[in-house]
Structure 1
Amino acid sequence: MLDQTDLEILQLLRKNSRMQWKEIGEIVHMTGQATSGRIRRLEEIGIIEGYTVKINEEKLGRIILALITVFMKSNDHRSFQNFVRQEESIVESHRISGDGCYWLKARVKSQNDLEKLLDNILRYGNYRLQISISEITNK
């Protein structure tokens, strides 16, 4: 079971996974060593699956954020899923219920790159496209 301290540690790591254990400990009123033990336990039981870095895609030139709902033409989902895994511009993907079969989040540098991506998606099914105007973040 997780207690309030575990939840506070997770919240701090969500904001900055590079935070030092001692710094986390000071915030949650524990020693760095005790914090280390908590984090290690959270890793061992699978609550913490890994650590990552958040990249500013716009600064890398990938300025267009496309939200794409895919409607499959066939039952060949495996081929489509392999395409999604290999397509560099797709940064997030979900198999969904309801309206559509898949939801994709893609980052591209230009409208030309977006058009190429959409043409490739058409091999598997039709799509509905939305372009993000701005992101609302939780801070």
Structure 2
Amino acid sequence: MARYSARVADDPAPTLDRLDWRLLEQLQRDGRVSVAELARRVNLGPTATADRIRRLTDLGVIAGFRADLDLERVGYTVVAFVRLAYPSGNYRALHAELERTQELLECHHVTGDDCFVLKVAARSMRHLEEIAGRLATLGSVTTSVVYSSPLVSRVITQPQP
């Protein structure tokens, strides 16, 4: 029987042990790995492994599982970051645009001269121009097209003391 202290999903920093971190590292590398294979990789039984995954999900440490797409292979050949200087504190129009525009992949509220940084996937430069034009109705925009991405994402591992 696992000995975990009861914690809630809204705990900003649940306690993770070394085994939790090993599971998380493996899942970040391959989210489709079977529980049996994951258990083998971390030297734990399948039932205990499934229990830990469930616990990490319930705690909100594992936010979800998804497929990462190769955007170019699905027709989105242009990726860009759009910085938006939003003139007011009423973000309803921005949230509406985020809801209706599937090409807006990420949106981050940031410090500095710009209020938001958005990641955009477009089918062409003309398509990017249309999206940036709609965003420009909300405030001043600056667009940076991605040439390449030497680091797309990184596996987070256990912090060293």
Instruction: Name 1:54's counterpart in structure 2.
Output: 68
| Alpha-carbon distance in 2 for matches of 1:37, 1:118 | 45
Residue 75 (1) aligns with residue 89 (2): yes
Distance 2:89 2:17 in 1: 44
Query: Mapping of 1:1-139 within 5 angstroms?
Result: 1-137=15-151, 138=154
TM-score (norm 2): 0.81
Runs of 4+ in 1 over 2 A off after TM superposition: 73-76
Say which structure is richer in strand. 1
Q: What number of residue pairs does the alignment pair up? A: 139
The CA distance in 2 between the partners of 1:99 and 1:25, in whole Å, is 48
Q: Does the 8 Å CA contact 1:74/1:124 hold for their aligned counterparts?
A: no
Structure 1 stretches lacking a partner, 5+ long: none
TM superposition score normalised by structure 1: 0.93
CA–CA distance in structure 2, aligned partners of residues 82 and 97 of structure 1: 22
State how far apart, in whole Å, the 2-side matches of 1:90 and 1:34 are.
Answer: 39
Q: Percent identity?
A: 25
Q: CA deviation at 1:49?
A: 2.3
CA offsets 1:86-129 (integer angstroms, 9 cap, x no match): 21111111111113010000000111101111110111001111
Q: Which consecutive unaligned segments of at least 5 residues does structure 2 have? A: 1-14, 156-161
Determine helix, strand or coil for the equivalent of 2:54: helix
- Higher helix proportion: 1
Once superposed, what is the RMSD of the aligned Cα atoms? 1.3
